[in-house]
Amino acid sequence: MISSRSARRCIRPGGQRKILQRRRLGPKLRAVQLFDLLLGHGDRVALTADGRDHTYGALADAAARLAATLRARGLAAGDRVAFFLPNCAELAIAYFGCFAAGLVAVPLNPRYRGPEVEHAVADCAPRLLIADAALLDRLDGARLAALGIAGVVVAGGPAPTGTEPFARLLDAAPLPAPVAVAADDPAVVLYTSGSTGKPKGVTHTHASLRRTARHQVVSQALDASDVQLAFMGIAYIAAFAGQLLTAFALGGRVILLPHGDPAAVVDAIPRHGVTRLQTGPADLRDLLAHPAPARAALATLRCAIAGGERIAAELHHRFAEWAGLPLTEACGMTEAYNYAMNPPFGAKRLGSFGLPTDGVTLRLVGADGRDGDEGEVWLRSDAMARGYWNDPAATAAALRDGWLVTGDLARRDADGWYWFVGRRKEIIIRGASNIAPGEVESVLTQHPAVAAAGVVGAPDAHDGHVPVAFVQLHPGAAATPAALRAFASERLAEYKVPVRVVVLDALPRNVNGKLDRAALAARSSLSAA
C-alpha cells in the first residue's frame, strides 16, 4: 500500500511545471552540438562515479583535452571511436570528447565477447578502441589491428605493452571550441540485436539526441534539482539518452554505479539524495530481492521508470510495497527511446505501457495495412535514429515514409492508452537486453558436430524470457549439451548463451521447409524448466 507521504511526493501540478520546464530549457536545446550540454554550469556537480564528484567544468575540460588529442592524431570529423567500458567517468569523458571533436562514438556492450566486438569493429571501422583493463582478455589485438584499429587505449588499470593509458589522451591543451556539426551528422552508433543475424548499428545524430533530451525532460517532468541514479549501463540508449543526456540538458546530476549491485543502489539513494532511477525487469527483481530499506531512506525518490519488457503486475505491487511509490512503466527501443509511458506523477494504468511521450505520434497498423485500434506500432518523432550504420536495406525496412516500424504489437483502449500484445519480431528480450535467435544459431552451427540449430525464448520468472537452443547433429557426430553451452559461452555475451541445449534427431520444419519456431516454442518452456 502506498503511504500518504509518498502520494504527496508523487503528485505535482503538471501544467505549471511543464511551462517552467519549457522556459528553463530556453535557447540551449535549440543548439545541435551535444558537447554544449556541458557548458554554462561551471562548478555544479555533473557526475559522481567511482567515489568522485566531477563538475560540469571539469568534465568539459577533460572532454576538450581528449578531443584535442584525437584531432592532433589525425582523426577527422565523422571518424569513429569505439568504447568497451563499463559505467565509469572515462566513458562519459570519452562520449563528450568525441562529440567535441566531431567524431562518432561507438559504445559497445561490456558483456560482449571477442567475436561480438570484432563484428561491430568490422561494421563501423573505428580508428581507436578505448577498453577497460578488466576486459582486455576478451580481445585479440592482432585481429583488431587487421580490422583497422590503429590503437587501444586502456582505462581502469595498467596499460599492457602495445596499448596506452587513458590519461595520455588528456595531456593536450583543451580544444578551443567544439567542432561544428550539422543537425543530421551522426553522434553515436549503438549496436542492438534485431530479429535476425548480427547486431545492427543504430545511428543517432546530434540533433536526434538533443531532441530526445528535450522531449524526455517534458515527459518525465524533470528539473535541475533531480538526481539521476544510473545503474543500467550508459553504453545503452536508456541510461545514456534517458538519464545522462537529460540530466545534463538541465544542469542536473547523475550518480553512476556499476551494473548489477543492488546493495550499492540502496545505499546510494539516501547518500546522494537520488530522486530518479530507471531499470529493467531483471534488475528490478534483483533490487527487490535485496532487503527493503527503511522507508525514510527512500524519502528523496520521486519516480522510478521501468521498461525494456512488459512489467508483470506482481513487480508493480512488490515495488510499491518496497519503495512506497508506484512504478512508472514505459516502452521504448534503441531507435526511439521511450516512445510511450505512464505519467510519472498522477494516475497510472497497471499493465499499460501508457501514452505517447512528448513529440511522439503513434499509429497501429493492421495486417491489411490499415490503421486501427490494434496492430503493429508505428511511430513518428523528430528524435528517431536516422537508420542503421552501413545497412541501407534494414534502414529502408524500418523507416517507411517518415514512420519507424517497431515490430511491437499493441492495442489502444477507448481513452488512448496502449497495451502490449506481442512482438512481430522473433527477438528474445532477456531482462532488458535483446537477443537475436539467428546470432546464437550461427554460433552454435560453427561447432563441428552441429548440423542445424534453432533458438527460441522460454518464459522465465526472473528475466522475462531466456534463450533455449535445439540442435541437430551431423550423422555420427557427438556433442553434449554442456559442451555446446561452453562453446557458445566462449563466443557470446553471457546473457545470450542458451540456458539449456536440447539435442533432437531432427529439427521440426513447416510445409515450406523452414524451421518451425512455433513447434520449438511449444517445447521450450518444458525444456527450460
Read off the pLDDT of residues 493-511 as tens digits, 9 standing for 90 and up: 999 999 999 999 999 986 5
Q: Find out whether 336 and 383 touch, Cβ atoms under 8 Å.
A: yes
Mean pLDDT of 470-474: 94
pLDDT confidence of residue 12:
32
31 — pLDDT class (breaks 50, 70, 90): low
CA distance 236 to 108: 9
d(CA 163, CA 85): 15
Cβ 148 vs Cβ 125: under 8 Å = yes
Mean pLDDT, the chain, as a whole number? 90
The residue behind cell 534488475 is 283
Within 13 Å and on the Cβ side, how many CA atoms surround 347? Answer: 2
**Alpha-carbon span 134 to 287, nearest angstrom:** 25
pLDDT tens-digit series, residues 288-312: 988 888 888 999 999 999 998 778 8
pLDDT at 15 over 50: no
Q: Is a pLDDT exceeding 70 seen at residue 256?
A: yes
Q: Where are the alpha helices (DSSP H) in 273-347?
A: 281-289, 313-323
- How far is CA 245 from its chain centroid? 13
φ and ψ of 309, to 5 deg? -170, 160
Q: What angle do CA 348, 349, 352 make, to 5 degrees?
A: 120
Report which DSSP code applies to 327: E
pTM of the model: 0.84
pLDDT surpassing 80 at residue 85: yes
Q: What percent of the chain shows pLDDT beyond 70?
A: 92
Cα radius of gyration rounded to whole Å, the chain: 23
Picking from 3-7, 72-76, 141-145, 184-188, which range would have the lowest pLDDT averaged per residue? 3-7
pLDDT per residue as tens digits for the range 168-179:
999 999 999 999
pLDDT band at 442 (very low <50, low <70, confident <90, very high): confident
In angstroms, how far is CA 233 from the centroid of its own chain? 7
Distance, CA of 126 to CA of 123 (rounded, Å): 9
**One-character DSSP codes across 386-397:** -EETT-HHHHHH
Find all residues with CB under 8 Å of 408, minimum gap 6, and list them. Answer: 331, 333, 376, 377, 420, 423, 424
pLDDT for the residue numbered 425: 73
State residue 23's pLDDT score.
31
Short-list 255, 294, 259, CA closest to 277 = 255
What CA–CA distance (Å, rounded) separates 384 from 402? 10
Other Cβ atoms closer than 10 A to 22: 13
Residue 145 CA, chain-centre distance (Å), reads 28
- Helices and strands: H and E segment counts in the chain: 16, 27
Alpha carbons 358 and 340: distance in angstroms, whole number: 9
| Distance from C-alpha of 119 to C-alpha of 116, rounded to nearest angstrom | 5
- Say if residues 360 and 340 touch (Cβ distance below 8 Å): yes
DSSP helix/strand/coil, 47 = strand
Grade residue 197 by pLDDT with cuts at 50, 70 and 90: low
Mean pLDDT of 273-300: 91
Cell (9 digits) for 387: 537508420
**How far, in Å, CA of 230 to CA of 239, rounded?**
6
Residue appearing with cell numbers 538526481: 227
